[in-house]
Amino acid sequence: MTYARARLGPGLTGAGLLLLLTIAAYVYQMPSTFFPYFGGPWYSDWAGFVVCFLAYASVSLPFDIWGGYTLPCSHQRLCLLFPEFLMKWLRGVFVQGAVMTSSALVLLQAGKHWGVWGATGALLALQITLLALQWPLARWTGGLAPAPALPGSGAVTVLAVDMGFTGGPAGLPGLERNIQPQSWNTSLSPPALLAEHLRRQGLIKTGARTRGVLLALGWNLLGFVLSASLPWGGVDTIFSLLETLLGCTLWSFLGLLILPSFSRPGTLEADRYAAANGATRPQLEAAICEIDQLQDEDLSRPRWLETMSSIPSVENRLNALDSKHQPYGAWLAARTTLYLSWANFGLLSRAVHLNVGRPELWVLPPGD
């Protein structure tokens, strides 16, 4: 079994367990049992959110160990000493916990004063803030260190331990930074590196990345409004807001099934841009295949797995280069919703197979 297929184990099991617990808590309205008070000082509300996050982190820990420590070691990938892995995990969890609990507190305060639409406006502002701080948060969460860049590359080069780290555009649309792992300077051939630089330009110039960001923002906002509008949801008490946030997690799961269909054409659009702006077919093939080998993905996938993937398989990407159809998509929309769901306490944000147990990928998920 390939490393990529093996990662489905902790991803599907961990995400499935969190989903079942979320459904149970949502249906039986457990937040009103554990947090029955209607109001209090902000610090008591914040303490309640911290308790919820610690419970979430405790449930996810075994799957993070499985996906971030056990599997890489058993497949001769990155194999850190367990104390080193644990310190990286604690660092990432601390940063995520600070963001998620603070965001929930902001939503609650906005809901108390201005109702559902005030909380929705606060959620929009929080997601925009997360986009603006994407690179600093990626650095703090994953312990990424800056490294010297190749002259003329225009990329921010970083030292990343996990070979699955690909970086990519980070930040608000129009103000993006291109983040690239330093290892690519030696692990990718010069033709592949050239083609990848053109692809990264294409993500911006075609608008594929902007469309992905806007779709992710809109999806999370829609889920929040729908969840808050249900009879047992709300935004003005901690228990009603937690019920709303549980509904947002269920909405995120629906997004993982629907949004990849919009994400995959965005990848193909960047491939076609590179081909039209100087990258030869052999250069693009080299970039696609060499990066895939670093990821240890599958050259082809079963149809059910392909429909759940944000990035097309190597086989489908190479076939698309010969197609006359011009793709038009929202690059990485599905995975971007997971990062932005930190703003609404998304319990699936780091439970899927691509980033479970891998803090370096929690903010900048693989996009190549």
pLDDT score of 85? 94
**Total structural domains in the chain?**
1
- Per-residue model confidence (pLDDT) at position 120: 97
Q: Which of 79, 17, 39, 16 is closest to 241 using CA atoms?
A: 39
Whole-number pLDDT of residue 295:
77
Spatial distance between the Cα atoms of 195 and 197, rounded to a whole number of angstroms: 5
Q: Is 366 part of a structural domain of the chain?
A: no
Q: What is the pTM of this model?
A: 0.95
Residues ≥6 apart with Cβ < 8 Å to 81: none
Domain annotation covers residue 368 = no
* Residues in the chain with pLDDT values less than 50: none
Q: Do the beta carbons of residue 292 and residue 271 sit within 8 Å?
A: no
Is residue 311, in this structure, part of any structural domain at all? yes
Start-end of H helices in 165-311:
184-187, 190-205, 208-229, 238-258, 260-276, 281-295, 303-307
d(CA 128, CA 275): 32
For residue 367, being part of any structural domain is answered with: no
Tokens in use for 219? 């999806």
What is the model's pLDDT at position 267? 94
pLDDT for the residue 308: 81
| Cα separation, 95 vs 204, whole angstroms | 28
- Asked if residue 14 belongs to a domain, the reply is yes
Of 89, 96, 176, 174, the closest CA to residue 138 belongs to 96
pLDDT of residue 296: 65
Q: What is the pLDDT of residue 366?
A: 87
pLDDT at 152 (0 to 100) = 67
Domain that holds residue 43: 3-361
How confident is the model over 158-210, as pLDDT tens digits? 998 888 899 999 999 999 999 999 988 888 899 999 999 999 999 999 999 99
199 touches 168 (CB < 8 A) = no
pLDDT of residue 349: 94
Establish if 159 belongs to a structural domain: yes
